Amino acid sequence: MAHSFLHLPVVSKVVRQYHERLTCRGQYLLWSMVVLAILGLDTRRTFVFWLFAMVAGMFTAAAAFTVLRRPGVHLECRFPERATALRPVTLHARVSNERAPVPSDLCLLFRQPTEGTSEISFHPTPVFLEEGEGTLPQACVEMRPARRGRYVLPGPVLGRADPLRLMVSRGLELPEHPLLVYPRFYSMHEFIVPLGRRYQPGGIPLSSSTGEAIEFVGTREYRPGDPVKNIHWRSWARRGEPVVKEYMEEYFCRIAIILDTFLPSKFTPGQQASFEAAISVVASIADYFSRSEYVVDILAAGPDVYEVSAGRSLAYLENILDVLACLGPCHDPPFATIGPNLFEKLSQITTVVAVLQDWDTSREDFLKRVKGLGTAVRAIIVHEGPTQKAWEHVGENLGEVSVLSTADVERLLAAEYPHA
């Protein structure tokens, strides 16, 4: 009931004004004034109302100053487009004024987004801008996103404070800024990937360019069927017999990452933690692949399929993290809704890495069907406690299967984020 009361338009506006217009000193003095008003109700028995009148007068004077003293300056503050959950980001703000000196009583306030107010925090806020020697007034504020997601951050507000620094005027306001918060992930030093029967000629140079060039390694004698364009004419003239150029082709592994996003309609906190841990594992695997020779082509998150390596570019890590930042759970079993479009794409894939939240018949049948395409399979089960079906012996025919508990993932993340 109290939570819904705070979301009423009038109440929410009053609360927002309380946080935006009053400094910490002003908030303390406001509550002191409320207490003095209650204690001084009986003016015949006590003179506490005199103190109340003094505090009220201070607030009246502060309000008059903030109405008359609006800043006429220019504010610069750059927000990042992307951040990582629980990893602090430092924001720098600077104030300038070409026509007149910059006032020394400027106060900058960073506001939380209207949705998910507890997910983005700023420290310190509000902050009074300080002018250094030969520099413009500036401030450094630490932004700390609590969890992944997409947020729309209100622009910071710059106002002028009264001499007692109780209230801040309604002043310059920057526009809103969208922010993508990536899930936490840890650095993998080794991740063994089984190789299927399907290889892609051309290697890494081919995947990152548009040409079909391959490396020249030498010459050899002509064999029936060799293309005429590969004849090395100078060697033929010198040796008196046909000689062709020999090239070395590289092969590389194309990867598809499949994430199990199933959560029941009424899920427990443990299931929610397992879901978030699975997302962190996928982000960690994608980060490892971005530093290796493997190419991630497909990310299948539940029923949705994303082609993350655009064209022949290898900058797919950012694409995967963009998807994972906004990914929500699927309340229908995803392996029952994945259509033939995915299997058509998997027919060109070397290896499938599947991150699952449990192990049952539907998940096992799905990976067996993938295995039947000639694609190698590596499965990781992120689950706390026993799974629905035993998985220990399926690796003999299916591929490598391993289990990570939610606590294991948290320990790996804690080692990567020691101050989170």
pTM score of the predicted model: 0.76
What is the rounded average pLDDT of the residues 264-289?
Answer: 92
Superfamily of domain 1-182 in the CATH hierarchy: Immunoglobulins (2.60.40.10)
398: pLDDT strictly greater than 90: no
What is the rounded average pLDDT of the residues 80-107?
Answer: 85
Spell out where 106-230 has E strands. Answer: 106-109, 120-123, 127-128, 138-145, 149-153, 157-160, 172-173, 177-182, 200-201, 215-221
Q: 313 in helix, strand or coil?
A: coil
Spatial neighbors of 259 by CB under 8 A, at least 6 apart, are: 278, 279, 282, 299, 300, 301, 302, 327, 354, 355
The single-letter DSSP state of residue 181 is E
Contact 148, 279 (CB under 8 A): yes
DSSP β-ladder status, 149-153 and 120-123: unpaired
**What confidence category does residue 259 fall into, taking pLDDT thresholds of 50, 70 and 90?**
very high
Nearest to 154 by CA among 321, 20, 8: 20
Q: 250 in helix, strand or coil?
A: coil
**What pLDDT does 21 receive?**
83
The single-letter DSSP state of residue 330 is B
* CA–CA distance, 302 with 148 (Å, rounded to integer): 18
In 112-222, where does DSSP find H-type helix? 203-207
**What confidence category does residue 144 fall into, taking pLDDT thresholds of 50, 70 and 90?**
very high
Radius of gyration of the chain (CA): 31
The angle at the Cα of 259, spanning 83 to 302, to the nearest 5 degrees, equals: 105
Structure tokens, 55: 């505090």
Domain segments of the chain as ranges: 1-182, 220-248, 252-416
**What confidence category does residue 9 fall into, taking pLDDT thresholds of 50, 70 and 90?**
low
Contact 110, 143 (CB under 8 A): yes
Contact 139, 127 (CB under 8 A): yes
**What confidence category does residue 284 fall into, taking pLDDT thresholds of 50, 70 and 90?**
very high
pLDDT, tens only, 303-332: 788 888 644 444 678 889 999 999 999 888
> For 62-74, b where at least 16 C-beta lie within 10 A, e where not — what string?
beebbeebebebe
Four-residue CA torsion sign, 404, 182, 257, 267: positive
What is the rounded average pLDDT of the residues 271-291?
Answer: 92
Min mean pLDDT across 54-58, 277-281, 313-317 is at 313-317
DSSP β-ladder status, 172-173 and 215-221: unpaired
Superfamily of domain 252-416 in the CATH hierarchy: von Willebrand factor, type A domain (3.40.50.410)
Four-residue CA torsion sign, 358, 393, 194, 196: negative
pLDDT, tens only, 159-205: 888 888 888 887 788 899 999 999 999 999 888 888 765 545 444 44
